[in-house]
Chains A and B, each alone.
Chain A
Amino acid sequence: MAVDTTYDRPAAPARAPAAPRRRRSPRRVAWIFAGPAAALFALFFAYPLGASLLQSFTTEDAGATRWVGLDQYRRMIHDPAFVESLVNTGIILVVQVPVMIGLALVLAVLLNQSWLRLRGTWRAVHFLPAVTTLVAYAVVFQVLLKTDGGLVNQILGAVGIGPVDWLNSPTWARISLIASLTWRWTGYNAVILLAGLQAIGNEQYEAAAIDGSGTLSTYARVILPQLRPVVLFCVVTSTIGTLQLFDENYVLTRGGPDDATLTPVVYLYKVGFQQLDFGYAAAIAWVVVALIAAISALQYAAFGRERRR
Chain B
Amino acid sequence: MTAVQHASVRAHPARRLGRVAVWLFLACGAVVSLVPFLWMAIAATHSTSDLFHSPPPFLPGGRLLDNLARLQDTIGFGRVLLNSLGIAVVHTALSSLISAMCGYGLAKYRFRGRGLLLGAVLATMMIPFQVLLVPLFQMMASVGWIDSYQAVILPFLANSFGILLMRQGFVDFPDEILESARIDGSGELRTFYQVVLPCVRPQLGALVIFTFMTQWNSFIWPLLMLNSEDKYTVPVALNTLTGLSRVDYSGLMLGSLLATLPLMALFLLFQRQFVAGLLGGAVKG
Query: Which A residues are closer than 8 A to B by beta carbons?
Result: 2, 5-8, 16, 19-21, 23-24, 26-27, 29-34, 36-38, 40-41, 44-49, 51-52, 55, 106-107, 110-116, 119, 122, 124-137, 139-144, 146, 148-151, 154, 157, 181, 183, 185, 187-188, 191-192, 195, 198, 200-202, 205-206, 209, 237-238, 240-248, 250-251, 265, 268-269, 272-273, 278, 281-282, 285-286, 288-289, 292-293
CB-defined contacts of A122 to chain B, threshold 8 Å = 26, 30
CB-defined contacts of B20 to chain A, threshold 8 Å = none
Select one of B33, B106, B130, B239 contacting A265, CB under 8 A: B130
- With A38-B102, A135-B235 as given contacts, are A44 and B132 in contact (CB-CB < 8 Å)? yes
Asked if residues B131 and A285 are in contact (CB atoms below 8 Å), the reply is yes
Most buried by B among A107, A125, A195: A125
CB distance from A212 to the nearest CB of B (A): 12
CB-defined contacts of B256 to chain A, threshold 8 Å = 133, 136-137, 139-140
How many angstroms between the C-alpha atoms of A122 and B28 in the bound complex? 11
Most buried by A among B11, B130, B192: B130
How many angstroms between the C-alpha atoms of A112 and B5 in the bound complex? 10
- With A33-B101, A40-B158 as given contacts, are A133 and B54 in contact (CB-CB < 8 Å)? no
**Could you tell me the dominant secondary structure of chain B's interface residues?**
helix
Chain A residue with Cβ nearest B23: A116
- With A46-B120, A272-B134, A288-B130 as given contacts, are A113 and B22 in contact (CB-CB < 8 Å)? yes
Select one of B2, B127, B185 contacting A289, CB under 8 A: B127
| Per-residue interface assignment for chain B, residues 127 to 170, with 1 indicating a CB less than 8 Å from any chain A CB and 0 otherwise | 11011111111110000000000000011111000010000000
CB-defined contacts of B138 to chain A, threshold 8 Å = 51, 278
Asked if residues B242 and A293 are in contact (CB atoms below 8 Å), the reply is no
The 9 closest A-B pairs by CB, nearest first: A241-B284, A149-B52, A33-B105, A30-B109, A34-B105, A37-B102, A48-B135, A135-B235, A136-B256
Asked if residues B3 and A113 are in contact (CB atoms below 8 Å), the reply is yes
Select one of B39, B111, B278 contacting A188, CB under 8 A: B278
- With A52-B131, A55-B134, A157-B54 as given contacts, are A19 and B185 in contact (CB-CB < 8 Å)? yes
Asked if residues B134 and A278 are in contact (CB atoms below 8 Å), the reply is yes
